[in-house]
Structure 1
Amino acid sequence: MKSTLKAALLGVAFSGVSTLAMAQRDYQSYAQLTTRLQRLSSKYSKLVSLTTIGKTATGKEIWMLTMGRDNAVNKPAIVIAAGLEGTQLATTELAMQMAEQMLEAAVLQDSVRELLQTKTFYILPNLNPDASEQYHEKLRWERLGNAQPIDDDRDGRMFEDPFEDLNKDGLITMMRVKNPTGTYRPSSEDPRVMVKADVSKGEKGEYLLFTEGLDNDKDGKWNEDPEGGVMFNRNFTFDYPYFQEGAGEHPISERETKAFADFMYEAKNVFAVFLFGPANTLTEPLKYDRAKATKRIISGPLEKDAAVNDQISKLYNSTTQLKNAPKVGPSSGDVLQWAYFHYGRFSYSTPGWWTPKIIPAKDTTGGKTPQSPSDNEDVNFLLWAEANEVMGTFVNWKSFKHPDFPDQEVEIGGLAPYVKQTPPVRMLGPIAQKHFQFFSAFAKWMPSLQIVNVSSEKVAGGLTRITADVYNQGSLPTHSEIGDKSRWVQKVKVTLKLSENQKIVSGNKIQLSNAVAGGDKFQVSWLVNGKGYVTLEAQSPTAGKQIKEVYLR
């Protein structure tokens, strides 16, 4: 009976019935996420606080969890941001589950509790809530833009060519139109999947491919101006994509992006920014490119920062053990590049979850042809979905009489919206745990300033020579190399504090240093006139502070 029911459900899942009730996905709406955050901050009120950095055009709060709340602004911090793109709901869930696991562990484990006493974690689970909320609407389509109206096709009208649910299934999928000038053909691996015909291999296209809908404004384009405005991850200042779809009228034009940038520029204690987003610079680190790094406008990581990226990538791969990650680089106007080039911090990105590579069993029973692993992203996803009984992933192609193509064969179908980036939530717990382990290990690697080898020597004229080494006992630099080129990132500062009867004869009261590598040190020295004690303070917002008293001889 059990196997019969299982077979029936799979039959529904892969026969074109993509009802949302069968979708096995329980991602939370904005209201549900808000309640979850409030309960979490109430339950662990001594460890975490919940604040908002701003509001969207529809009044939704952009929530932030501050973990390690006591003296949070004065401790070195890590930013973990998710929900950069409205289709990546799994990133929000990963960030939430990871926060929950960390707080639960802090109650039970001294090591995690001590971690939150020395470091601050700023977790922003959804930076683009107006876009992600489309997942929960009656009509589901993959929305990237926020709720700010914008004229994407610049014809003086807004939202005049939206998506239409022609087959009334509640989903916006694709239309394929049989046409001799088409550039697409069914995949030989899975005929449900449409692929570009490779003319260099003698392949011929059979279909034109469009998103489901009508050409409302009769301009020969379909759904080019749907509801939805600016994309959060295209609205930042570095390599801003002027006049491109979803980029906005100008950099940081949106409530969401301005709120995030304002918070970040105020948070001088942020050591590194980690993004759960489309780019992947953790399993595959960015490489040093001298040509890019030495241009007037730097467009590639500096040499020391690239070496750190490689170091962090090895840590990420060893702690998460995640395989076959997608190779996706930075994109124009994204948060990843802004956080590095303009904010001056170490900046990394990972999708967090991606479709695992499936190697199908080579079943030759009944005369079947042995299947081979697929490099096609959609084919691999469908193989994975079937192997893991993930339902509601595909709408089978069905004929439709389309008014825009009266004499042509038109079919509607394809992958259901969001499915490739929203695995069943139950699968994300182990992934969140691996990322919790990574961030815990990363935090232990962070820089920590120590004042060592302090000496106080009496010299001629009743003076005292004070020397000391400022040592970075962490494994990572006190800040990024590009931070040294930025006037915003604060350098390592060493201050000699005196009382009224004391005077510095030689040496600056405040001495600054560029980034100090992990395990490295630099020396400071003064000649002081007077008696009693002086105070030596070494501090950096991103590497902590230490104070020592020194007796004048």
Structure 2
Amino acid sequence: MNQKIKAALVGFAFCGATSLATAQRDYQSYDQLTARLQKLSSKYSKLSTLTTVGKTATGKEIWLLTLGRDNAVNKPAIVIAAGVEGTQLATTELAVQMAEQMLQAAVLQDSVRELLQSKTFYIFPNLMPDASEQYHEKLRWERSANAQPIDDDRDGRMFEDPFEDLNKDGLITMMRVKNPTGLYRPAKEDPRIMVKADVSKGEKGEYLLYTEGIDNDRDGKWNEDPEGGVVFNRNFTFDYPYFQEGAGEHPISERETKAFADFMYDARNVYAVFVLGPANTLSQPLAYDKGKASKRIINGLLEKDAAVNDQISKLYNNTTQLKNAPKAAPSSGDVLQWAYFHYGRFSYSTPGWWTPKVSAPKDTVNGKAAVAPSEHEDVNFIRWAEANEVVGAFVDWKRFKHPDFPDQEVEIGGFAPYVRQTPPVRLLAPVAQKHFEFFSAYAKWMPSLQIVNITSEKVAGGLTRITADVLNQGSLPTHSEIGDKSRWVQKVKVTLKLENDQKLVSGNKIQLSNALGAGEKFQVTWLVNGKGYVTVEASSPTAGSQSKGVNLR
């Protein structure tokens, strides 16, 4: 097809007509997701269980899908937490697709079946169901907060300045107001897209940008107090953003965050937490900062943990082969930092999906070569959306007579809600497959305790000296370095179990070790008086256990 004709047709698909803009709602609602999870756990009942850890303010269940066989609660576990941001519906879909792929593979492949025999996967598909439901409402706007009423602007009123659908298209988009004091200008590559003017390059702003609506409370702000309350990913205890929008009245104030944290603190077997969310510490690992790691209140990765983060980042990149990942640091009050600094586990985050870098199409009529990818994220997105025929992604700018700007030029338009973080579901299957392969590889790298070099030696006085090495034969440490500073993370424990007529003469019956790195050993020794057999047991909730019997001399 002629490139100009094709571009015109695709451009038409980007118009603001309600029928097109609302057509692509292929992500599942809470009820649809619930039915899907129930069907999945029923079909694979020997490999999975579906439970709830709590309810939201509107009574929606916070689902937990557990994958594993035979006493899964006592096996080293990985947590996959999705839906921590209400606008990132793709993370929920990826988590569920990964679970489906893993369960299907377990039926056909011995390696995956053995993986679920030795490890447990705790999958939280959607930790913000009240927020994500806005995607399915008649009026669609990007909601990040739960359904707990809260007075964000602290003026004694609730929801007094919500969004208004001024152009009646069923979407809350943006308003651009022509104003020389504005900070934004149309992008040179695509004038539909608004980008921040770079004053260092001599650029000047031409527009003010606001979300679609009216300043109902006349405070000079637009839509600053819409329906909704607290953001899950801003309500945790580490670096809690006091008095900031969406943070809540205090840390762990919400049903969702408390339910998640309560489960986690009870789950001693959790080895690592993977957040499918806005931050990205898998594609680009966090660096070791001695200054931050040495503070009284540690706020940077400890040295050994930073080395592990780098190791896992390489595994992630080599396994998934995902390119041009966005740079996104952790944020105040997020679950990622809580899981590391306060829960004491290895903790990582990835958006899972991001817009691939694309070039502007080649002009076949005039013989011009394709233009290089844009440095502006939104320009890159619209090129990708057009190339993939994503319907209803952009609402063309149209004039609107706005009562708050009586003598100014106002236009309504821009990206439709959610589209930049919710690609068509049909595109996610290969991405989910790559992440399934990564998590499988990661699980195989996890620590495993083995008792080696165990000996019993007869010594003077009819005593027996027992010596053994406890080896971590995995490719990762038995637990995090910061876990050794925590009183919550259980250390490697070695126990000598005696019979009634046996007596321990020297050595502690229970001996503890800090984290054992890959291939590291911890030696234990005892003197025992008596006859028969004793048992040496090495155990760790995050690294498994092994027992061996030894004969007294």
TM-score category by the smaller chain? Answer: over 0.9
Query: Following the alignment from structure 1 to structure 2, what is the Cα–Cα distance between the partners of residues 496 and 309?
Result: 35
SS of aligned partner of 1:96: helix
Mapped pair 1:319 → 2:314: no
Q: How do residues 114-513 of structure 1 correspond to structure 2 at under 5 angstroms?
A: 114-363=114-363, 365-366=365-366, 371-513=371-513
% identity of equivalent residues: 83
Distance across 2 between alignment mates of 1:303 and 1:194: 42
Task: Verify the 8 A CA contact 1:448 1:543 in the aligned structure 2.
Answer: yes
Spell out, residue by residue over 1:53-108, the C-alpha distance to the aligned partner (whole angstroms, 9 max, x if none).
Answer: 00000000000011004201110000001000000000000000000000000000
1:228 partner letter: G
CA distance in 2, matches of 1:310, 1:534: 42
Corresponding position of 2:530: 530
Given the superposition, is the C-alpha separation of residues 432 and 142 from structure 1 closer, same or farther in structure 2, using an over 3 Å criterion? Answer: same
The yes-or-no answer on 1:63 pairing with 2:68 is no
| Contact 1:13–1:22 (CA under 8 A) maintained in structure 2 | no
Separation of aligned partners in 1, 2:266 and 2:255: 17
Q: Summarize deviations over 1:394-419 as a string: whole Å, max 9, x none.
A: 00000000011111110000011100
Closer, same or farther in 2 for the Cα pair 1:369/1:476, shift >3 Å?
closer
One-letter amino acid of the counterpart of residue 150, structure 1 = I
Question: Residues 18 and 395 of structure 1 are in contact (CA less than 8 Å); yes or no, is this contact kept in structure 2?
Answer: no
* CA apart distance, 1:2: 13
Instruction: Please give the per-residue CA displacement for 1:33-71, whole angstroms capped at 9, x wherever unaligned.
Output: 000000000000010000000000000000001100420
What whole-Å deviation, never above 9, does each CA across 1:202-250 have from its counterpart, x for those lacking one?
Answer: 2221111100000000111100000010000000000000000000000
Distance 1:5 1:87 in 2: 34
| Distance verdict in 2 for CA 1:191–1:334, change over 3 Å | same
Show CA shifts across 1:241-268 (max 9, x none): 0000000000000000000000000000
Determine helix, strand or coil for the equivalent of 2:297: coil
Partner of 2:40: 40
Gapped regions of structure 2 (runs ≥ 5): none
- Native 8 Å contact 2:448 2:474 kept in 1: yes
Distance 1:2 1:119, change over 3 A: farther
TM-score by length of 2: 0.98
- Report the CA distance shift for 1:302/1:321 in structure 2 as closer, same or farther (over 3 A): same
CA contact (8 A) 2:3 2:364 kept: no
TM-superposition CA deviations, 1:484-521 (whole Å, max 9, x none): 00000000000000011101110000000000001111
Distance in structure 1 (CA, Å) of the matches to 2:181 and 2:232: 36
Task: Report the CA distance shift for 1:504/1:380 in structure 2 as closer, same or farther (over 3 A).
Answer: same
1:108 corresponds to 2:108: yes
Please tell me whether the aligned partners of residues 238 and 341 of structure 2 are also in contact (alpha carbons under 8 angstroms).
yes
Whether contact under 8 Å (1:18, 1:394) holds in the other structure is no
Task: Name structure 1 gaps, 5 residues minimum.
Answer: none
**Matched residue pairs, number?**
553
**Runs ≥4 residues deviating over 6 A:** 1-8
TM-score normalised by length of structure 1: 0.98
> For residues 254 and 100 of structure 2, what CA distance do their matches in structure 1 show?
30
What is the Cα deviation at residue 200 of structure 1? 2.2
CA contact (8 A) 1:86 1:144 kept: yes
Aligned equivalents of 1:324, 1:231: Cα separation in 2: 28
Distance 2:61 2:228 in 1: 18
2: CA distance, partners of 1:448 / 1:460: 36
- Give deviations 1:404-440, integer Å, cap 9, x for gaps: 1111110000011100000010100000000000000
**1:49 touches 1:69 (CA, 8 Å); kept in 2?**
no
